[in-house]
Structure 1
């Protein structure tokens, strides 16, 4: 969205990092009304995206280039996940969409004097797991003809604060891998402690199979 807004008027954020190719592909939105802001991925240009999002949130009923009476929030905002950190080849975790959300909240508060209201759709929030659980049950019924719902699920993840905490809160078994955000020695609170810690995804699958074999022997 930001590049489309910027293409209509580059003065919206003159310090942007968009390339001429990005701007050439944009669809300029000079006179637009927004019903909501949806943040689906980690922004590439935090400065530009922050400016555009706060402009929309504090606009007069979503009309870009206007300000609401009293600078209040008039448009809802949704985030697809709340991971503060994520991992790549760099040895330390990087800031993710959760960090971006916290930045938007702080700037909106400083700008308007009020708190931003947002909806987070993603781990570790309950309805994400409810949806995943329903998908698993539908797949079992259609693919294998099972009539009973799945009663034991293994959540594999690298982020204790989102993957593991969410899985624990939903009652799933959780397998934390060392190949991402989590590193040996990291302090885990009671909500983020996994059923087991393993080296990688393959090891997690093998551990889940071992747990299942143990469960069958106990029956």
Structure 2
């Protein structure tokens, strides 16, 4: 089994979704913090060997949250460039596995990440998340796949590896990713309304 202590968390936070317009979606508020900080907060207690955030001209301060920040000046060329930078930084810090997470997936939990680690038996491991229909990040890769990850190009990223790996199914709402303003509006409607209801219930006790 691969351990969190030997694994680098690589958070891809350089994407500028064309479908979101001119706004940096990762800085958009959701509940009590920017969208990108939800996965940061959810995974902060997992004892990763190191944490790496690959960014592109962001105002978000990942360094203050314990991340080595890697700037990707060519983020417009596709996600694979960010992936390569993150994996190389993980190699430089002596990691024997990488956990690739996306900053626009705000409902990921530490419990699910530990489930991915539980299925990873060694350096050949490729363990991805799934909603029961298709695989998605977060995804875990053992060191044997580092050369393949460093050769990824374009927007395809590591999808071919992920498709051929083991898929750990979790709830679909845990794997929501935010690509459009409508996605964010729906997320706010689903979770902020629940928060208001719970707060109201406490006040009425």
Higher-RCO chain (CA-CA 8 Å, sequence separation at least 6): 2
Question: TM-score, normalization: structure 2?
Answer: 0.24
Q: Would you tell me which structure has more strand in proportion to its own residues?
A: 2
Larger radius of gyration: 1
Question: TM-score, normalization: structure 1?
Answer: 0.23
